[in-house]
Structure formats: structure tokens, C-alpha cells
């Protein structure tokens, strides 16, 4: 709200699917809502000790009309459309002043959350990958005892999904002896299942909080991936290149510059489970101080099996092609135990002094076996997989790693903070400075065949931080500053002096000479609402400086196209980002307003290539504008945006990508209670190496709806991508190179849906 992020939503002053706001927004009938309230709410820990010991949450409370505060409520919706699109969902809620039982279900194959008449955005977050069928059910039980003895919240959900995806990429790797250009495509079918259960119990009178979680997921994936590498950039698109290389009529011009090509068909399946239990005990002592005890345990296990039909062909006639039939068996188990004590001294001047000690212990055991079925002269790929006894002698021991890792940490933390919350004057002040000193023990045993590495790391890690936040003028102005230093322990798997050659084109080596990294983070925020025209301004800035960052040194073999990778320490990496958001009403009646968002990002990236330092400077500039007019019968908005992504590196041609868009959306109330919602936006891309990605896509969505039965029945016709123009592309840069990616998008479709809302409330006495 007004640039301030809402932490979570509440219903009638109580938590409601905390962390999943979409459930309330999608299912609560508008006619039951009395008003929306925005305010700062004491955290649960602060409530238990009766004073503000940490930052309050900023929440939105949906207050229901009195007649809907007790009873039943729900809705069901079903829809069918062209191109075999379908959806259905249901929601039911039984509630009183102190309890709530909610159930929901959702089935669909449209896998997206946009609504016609919105801003028309179509980014990666708006367009999940591929074409997905989803089946999802869940529920929540909420009880808040009338006598204030306890609060119980139980959540559970089940989800099944099946997705089909296609992806094409074009990449450029910056190499001193001449860049390498890669092109790839893939087709995949993925099936998954997930079970999530969470229980939150608060015993208010004794100050005990218990959180229990159980998560289980499994998967079954089939992927066909193809790739080709050239010493010269190709002018054709990825689709044309792949069709030419992997066909009988290969282009002689392409073959002249080809280095290698790979075709890999894989199947993988497995599961993962996680159990977590946490206890927090808070005790307000008679003399005014507080004691907090914490205990947390987390256990998880995984099992992964797979098989792969791998074919690698080299253009270099002196290098033999590589054909592999792989069978993989992997499993892992780990636990993480944490115990802590915190003592807080409270002064009369709103200052608080905290001392804490925590012990953390982590242990993992991971085993991955690779079997080379092609080593058996009698094996035939078209036959069924062999039995266990038949492939045990085909173990590739050098590429079958087994690791055992144990880590212990002792944390000593001292912090000084002040929290002052004045609801009458609309002020909030918070200042915290803390120093965490951690002594870290790490011991590992890593084995590959006859080679064993026993890396260890023992060191002190210091992590100071400072936080300041000040709100004033009835919450109109906000100032916020943050700084922290994060000293990171070594990753022992990178330190182990072992080599992984399971992928002939990507050999991985360890580096026992690695040093730990340190990251310094800084952020600043200022926001203000002022004047009588709804004026709002927000300035945000952040920066990160990375010392001894662990990068990857890549050595390229120009004859085979293979890379050898080794982690190394580099200095000189830092990044920053600044943004300015503005809003203002242009008319006295506030019907016309304008919004602007400007951002600039800078990335100074240092890496290693062929044992030499490589530096890339990246600039990202963005600008978005929106003009909106609200009338009694309609709302109209015009919008546009541009993003320029430029990269500079010595001895490399500058790279400049420009994405820009412009469009409009409208919502109109027509006669006969008909409502029309529509958005249209042009997306344009320029500067991509793959010419097929330089496109102009005009996206148009629309919806016509009409309510019946006093708003309880809604009939709607929705049309997505009316002009059949959706495409999903994005690009990434770093000091090693750039990657441009195209991904399968949901096809256009029309859908007719019917939604029924219902409620039942007790009769007035």
C-alpha cells in the first residue's frame, strides 16, 4: 500500500492462510466485505512478552460485515475452452469469531494467474514454463481459544502436476582464442506429486510456540536434449540449426565450423521427504527481562534414479566419438539440529540489550553411483534395463562420489535495539545493531573410486549488522537503512581435490586452496506521501561488494569444445541498483493519475577464463509509465516501458539488448450488468544474437462477464492471446558469456466459465 509491502492478510483480525494471500483474494465474495484496514501488528513474539521486541508486521485486515461474521461461505467455478483447455475450482469456509475451517480445490491446464483487463504483463513469473496440468487440494483449520489459552493453525495441501515443455537456447562463451557459440533445444515431460502439512500451536499462557512441518515430493521426468557447438556464430535461428545438424541433409557450411554435437535422452525419477520441528519458549521475568529458548530439528532424505542414452560426436576426426549408456542411483540423508538461548534486558527508555548463544549441528551422507551399461558388450539399448546383479560390475567408480559432511557452529550474538511504536501520532522508530561471532567446524570425507579427500575448515566468522527505520507524519514518511557483513564458510565439496569426468564436455575439478568469501550489503529506502493530490515518492538503493568471491575458472579446448572447470577466488565483484517510483493525481477529483518507475542497475563481474582474469561491466536501465483514468462506468489505462541491457568487455563487441512495450487496458460497465475487461500490449525485442528472438508480439486478452442472482452467479467468457502471438524469451549475462532462451508458452484459447458463490448465516434472534 502506497509503496509499503503488506506482509500478510488477515480475516476479521485473525490469520488466514498466512503466506498464501491468493486464496483469500480469489475466493472471498466482495459483497461480504465491510472494509479494508491497514495497520502495523505486533509480532507473535512481541505479543507473548507484552512489549515490542522486534519489528511489527504491516498487515491488511479484511473486515466482514456483521451478518457474515458467523456461518458458511464458498464458491465453485468450472470452465471449458478451445484447444482442450479446462479449469475447475471450489472453496468452502465454515467460520465463527474464534474458529475457521477452510477447504479448497483447483484443477486446470491453463497454468497462469493473469486476468484480462490487468496490465498485460507477460514475464517469466507470469508465464510458468510449458503446458501444465495441475490438480491441487488443501485446507486450513484455525482455532483461537476464547479464553486466550492457545491458538492452533493446521494447514495441509496435496498437488499433482504434469507438464510438457520445449526450450531453445543460443549462447556465446567469451574465449580469448575466439568465442564459442552454442545452440540447444530440449523437449520434456515432467510428472510430480507434493504433500505439505504444517501445524502451528501457540500456548499463550506459558509462552510456548510449536511449529511442525512435513513435506514430501516425488517426480518422474523424461527429457530429450540436443546441443551443437560452433567456432563461428550462425545466422540462422536455433530451430533451423538443430534441424540441419541432426538430419541426414546436413549443411556443409555449418559443418565447417562445427566443433561437436550431443544428443541425450534421459529419464529420472525419485522422491524427497523433510520433517521439521521447532519449539520457541518465551518467558517474561518478574524483574522485566525476557528469556527465550529455542530448539529446532530438521531431517530429510532423497532418492534419485535415472538412465541416459548419451551420444557425443566430434568434428575433429582425430578425437573418437563417445557413446554412453548411463544408469544412476543416488540417495542422501541429512539432519540439522539447533539449540539456542536468548536473554533480553529491557530498559525504561525503550532500549533493549540482547545476548544469545546457539549451537547448530549439520550432518549429511550422500551416495551417487554411475553405471556404464555400454561397457557390457552384450547390452542392447532397446532392451529393458538389466537387473541389479547384472550391472553391479559396470560401476564407474571414479564418477560415483560418496560424501560425508559434518558441520558444527557455535553462535554468540550481542545486539542493542530500540523499538518505539506510537499509534496515536503515527510514528515508529527502530534501531538495531548486532554482532554475531560464529566458530565453525567442518569435516568432510569425499570419495571417488580409489581417491579420497578429507577437507576440513575451522574458523571464526563475524557478521555485524545495523538496521534503522523511522516512520513519521501519520506513517506518511519512511526512512530505512540497512548494512550487514556476511562472512561465509567454505564449501567443502569445492575444496575436495577430486575430479569429476562423468560429462566429457564439462570436467569438474576441486580446489584445496580456496579461501572463504565475504559479502558486504547496503540498502537505503525513502518514501513519502504528501500534498492533496495523492503524491507519492519512493527512492530505493542497494549495493553489494564481494571479497574473495568463489568464481569458476573455465579452460576451453578448441578442438573438442570441452571445458574444464575449477572454483577460484576473485576480487572486484560488486553490484548496485537504484530505483525511483512516483505517483500523482492530475485532477482534483483524483480520477486521473500518473505513475512512473525508473531503475538503474550496475554489475561489475570478475571471473576467470583460461587462467586469466575476465571483467564484464553490465548496465541495466528501465523505465515504466502508466496513465490511468477512472470514471463511474469505466477505467482506462495507458502504459509503456523500456528496458536496455548493455554489456561491455575488453576485446568483445558490445552487447545491447532492448525490450520495450506499450499498450492499454480497460474495464467497462455496459448496460444489462455486463462488464467488459480487456488488455492489449505490444512486446518488442531488439539486439538479440538469435535473430528469431527479435520479434514484435501483440498480446490481446479480453473477458465479458455478467452477474446473476444478486452477484451470486457469474458467467464469463475469457479470451487469452486472441492474436496468437505469445512467446517467452529472456537473456542472461555474466563474465563468461550470454545465453538467450526461448520457451514454450501456453497456446491461445477461449473459455466459458460459470461461478457460483454461496453463504449461509444463522438467523437473527
Give the model confidence (pLDDT) of 628-652 as tens digits.
999 989 999 999 999 998 888 766 6
- From residue 573, alpha-carbon distances to 60, 373, 464, 488 in Å are 40, 44, 21, 16
From CA 539, how far away is CA 479, in angstroms rounded? 10
Q: What is the mean pLDDT of residues 597-618?
A: 89
Name, in order, each residue with C-beta under 8 angstroms of 30's C-beta and a sequence gap of 6 or more: 711
Which of 125-129, 300-304, 335-339, 377-381 bottoms out in mean pLDDT, i.e. has the lowest? 125-129
Q: What is the pLDDT of residue 405?
A: 97
DSSP 671: G
Q: Which tops the pLDDT comparison, 16 or 419?
A: 419
Give φ, ψ of 188 to 5 degrees: -140, 150
- What pTM does this model have? 0.85
Nearest to 343 by CA among 301, 423, 384, 282: 282
Q: Which tops the pLDDT comparison, 394 or 423?
A: 394
Q: Can you list the pairs that 246-255 forms with residues at least 24 positions away whose Cβ atoms lie under 8 Å?
A: 254/230, 255/315
Q: Which tops the pLDDT comparison, 23 or 515?
A: 515
Confidence of residue 693 (pLDDT cuts 50, 70, 90): confident
Helix (H, G, I), strand (E, B) or coil at 409: strand
- Asked if the model's pLDDT at residue 13 lies above 80, the reply is no
Q: Which tops the pLDDT comparison, 148 or 294?
A: 294
Q: What is the mean pLDDT of residues 231-242?
A: 88
Q: What is the pLDDT of residue 126?
A: 44
Q: Which tops the pLDDT comparison, 487 or 55?
A: 487
Q: What is the pLDDT of residue 656?
A: 85
Within 10 angstroms of residue 35's Cβ, the number of other Cβ atoms is 9
- Asked if the model's pLDDT at residue 426 lies above 90, the reply is no
- Asked if the model's pLDDT at residue 441 lies above 70, the reply is yes
Terminal CA-CA length for the chain: 39
Q: What is the pLDDT of residue 603?
A: 93
Within 10 angstroms of residue 430's Cβ, the number of other Cβ atoms is 19
Q: What is the mean pLDDT of residues 431-459?
A: 96
Amino acid at each position: 500500500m502506497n509503496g509499503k509491502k503488506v506482509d500478510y492478510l488477515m480475516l476479521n483480525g485473525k490469520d488466514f492462510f498466512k503466506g498464501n494471500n491468493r486464496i483469500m483474494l480469489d475466493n472471498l465474495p466482495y459483497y461480504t466485505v465491510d472494509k479494508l484496514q491497514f495497520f502495523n501488528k505486533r509480532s507473535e513474539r512481541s505479543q507473548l512478552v507484552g512489549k515490542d521486541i522486534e519489528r511489527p508486521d504491516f498487515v491488511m485486515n479484511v473486515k466482514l460485515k456483521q451478518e457474515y461474521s458467523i456461518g458458511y461461505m464458498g464458491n465453485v467455478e468450472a470452465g471449458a475452452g478451445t484447444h482442450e483447455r479446462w479449469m475447475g475450482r471450489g472453496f468452502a469456509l465454515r467460520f465463527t469469531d474464534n474458529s475457521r475451517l477452510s477447504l479448497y480445490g483447483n484443477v486446470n491446464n491453463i497454468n497462469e494467474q493473469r486476468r484480462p483487463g490487468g496490465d498485460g504483463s507477460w514475464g517469466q513469473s507470469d508465464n510458468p514454463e510449458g503446458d501444465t496440468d495441475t490438480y491441487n487440494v488443501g485446507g486450513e483449520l484455525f482455532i483461537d481459544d476464547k479464553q486466550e489459552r492457545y491458538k492452533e493453525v493446521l494447514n495441509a495441501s496435496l498437488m499433482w502436476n504434469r507438464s510438457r515443455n520445449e526450450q531453445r537456447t543460443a549462447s556465446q562463451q567469451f574465449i580469448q582464442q575466439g568465442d564459442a557459440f552454442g545452440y540447444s533445444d530440449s523437449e520434456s515431460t515432467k510428472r510430480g506429486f507434493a504433500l505439505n502439512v504444517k501445524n502451528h500451536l501457540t500456548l499463550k499462557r506459558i509462552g510456548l510456540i510449536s511449529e511442525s512441518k512435513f513435506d514430501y515430493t516425488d517426480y518422474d521426468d523424461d527429457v530429450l536434449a540436443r546441443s551443437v557447438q560452433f567456432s563461428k556464430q550462425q545466422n540462422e535461428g536455433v530451430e533451423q540449426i538443430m534441424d540441419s545438424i541432426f538430419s541426414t541433409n546436413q549443411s556443409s557450411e555449418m559443418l565447417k565450423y562445427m566443433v561437436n554435437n550431443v544428443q541425450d535422452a534421459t529419464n529420472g525419477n525419485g522422491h524427497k521427504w523433510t520433517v521439521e520441528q521447532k519449539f520457541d519458549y518465551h518467558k517474561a521475568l518478574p524483574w522485566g527481562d525476557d528469556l527465550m529458548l529455542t530448539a529446532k530439528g530438521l531431517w530429510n532424505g532423497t532418492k534419485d534414479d535415472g538412465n541416459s542414452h548419451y551420444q557425443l560426436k566430434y568434428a575433429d576426426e582425430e578425437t573418437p566419438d563417445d557413446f554412453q549408456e548411463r544408469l544412476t542411483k543416488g540417495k542422501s540423508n541429512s539432519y540439522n539440529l539447533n539449540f539456542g538461548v536468548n536473554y533480553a534486558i529491557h530498559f525504561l527508555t525503550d532500549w533493549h540489550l540482547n545476548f544469545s548463544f546457539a549451537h547448530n549441528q549439520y550432518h549429511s551422507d550422500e551416495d551417487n553411483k554411475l553405471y556404464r551399461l555400454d561397457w557390457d558388450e552384450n547390452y542392447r539399448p532397446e532392451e529393458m534395463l538389466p537387473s541389479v546383479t547384472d550391472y553391479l560390475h559396470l560401476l564407474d567408480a571414479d564418477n560415483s562420489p560418496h560424501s560425508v559432511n559434518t558441520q558444527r557452529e557455535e553462535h554468540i550474538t550481542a545486539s542493542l535495539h530500540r523499538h518505539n511504536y506510537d499509534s496515536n501520532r503515527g510514528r515508529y522508530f527502530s534501531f538495531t545493531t548486532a554482532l554475531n561471532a560464529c566458530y565453525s567446524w567442518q569435516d568432510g570425507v569425499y570419495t571417488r573410486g580409489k581417491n579420497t579427500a578429507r577437507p576440513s575448515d575451522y574458523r571464526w566468522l563475524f557478521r555485524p549488522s545495523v538496521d534503522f527505520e523511522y516512520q513519521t507524519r501519520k506513517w506518511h514518511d519512511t526512512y530505512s537503512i540497512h548494512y550487514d557483513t556476511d562472512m561465509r564458510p567454505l564449501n567443502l565439496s569445492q575444496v575436495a581435490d577430486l575430479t569429476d569426468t562423468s560429462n566429457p564436455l564439462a570436467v569438474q575439478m576441486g580446489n584445496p586452496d580456496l579461501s572463504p568469501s565475504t559479502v558486504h550489503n547496503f540498502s537505503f529506502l525513502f518514501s513519502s506521501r504528501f500534498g492533496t493530490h495523492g503524491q507519492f515518492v519512493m527512492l530505493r538503493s542497494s549495493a553489494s561488494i564481494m571479497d574473495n568471491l568463489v568464481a569458476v575458472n573455465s579452460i576451453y579446448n578448441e578442438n573438442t569444445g570441452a571445458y574444464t572447470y575449477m572454483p577460484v577466488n576473485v576480487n572486484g565483484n560488486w553490484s548496485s541498483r537504484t530505483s525511483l517510483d512516483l505517483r500523482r493525481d492530475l485532477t482534483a477529483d483524483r480520477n486521473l493519475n500518473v505513475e512512473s518507475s525508473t531503475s538503474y542497475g550496475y554489475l561489475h563481474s570478475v571471473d576467470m577464463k583460461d587462467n586469466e582474469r575476465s571483467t564484464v561491466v553490465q548496465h541495466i536501465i528501465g523505465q515504466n509509465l502508466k496513465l490511468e483514468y477512472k470514471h463511474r462506468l469505466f477505467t482506462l489505462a495507458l502504459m509503456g516501458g523500456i528496458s536496455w541491457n548493455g554489456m561491455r568487455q575488453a576485446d568483445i563487441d558490445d552487447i545491447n539488448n532492448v525490450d520495450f512495450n506499450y499498450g492499454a487496458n480497460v474495464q467497462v460497465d455496459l448496460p444489462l450488468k455486463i462488464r467488459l475487461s480487456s488488455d492489449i500490449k505490444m512486446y518488442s525485442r531488439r539486439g538479440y544474437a538469435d535473430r528469431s528472438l527479435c520479434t514484435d508480439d501483440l498480446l490481446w486478452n479480453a473477458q465479458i462477464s455478467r452477474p446473476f442472482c444478486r452477484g451470486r452467479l457469474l458467467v464469463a467468457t475469457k479470451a487469452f492471446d486472441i492474436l496468437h502471438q505469445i512467446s517467452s524469451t529472456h537473456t542472461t549475462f555474466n563474465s563468461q558469456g550470454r545465453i538467450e532462451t526461448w520457451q514454450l508458452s501456453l497456446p491461445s484459447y477461449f473459455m466459458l466459465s460459470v461461478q457460483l458463490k454461496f453463504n449461509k448465516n444463522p438467523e437473527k434472534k
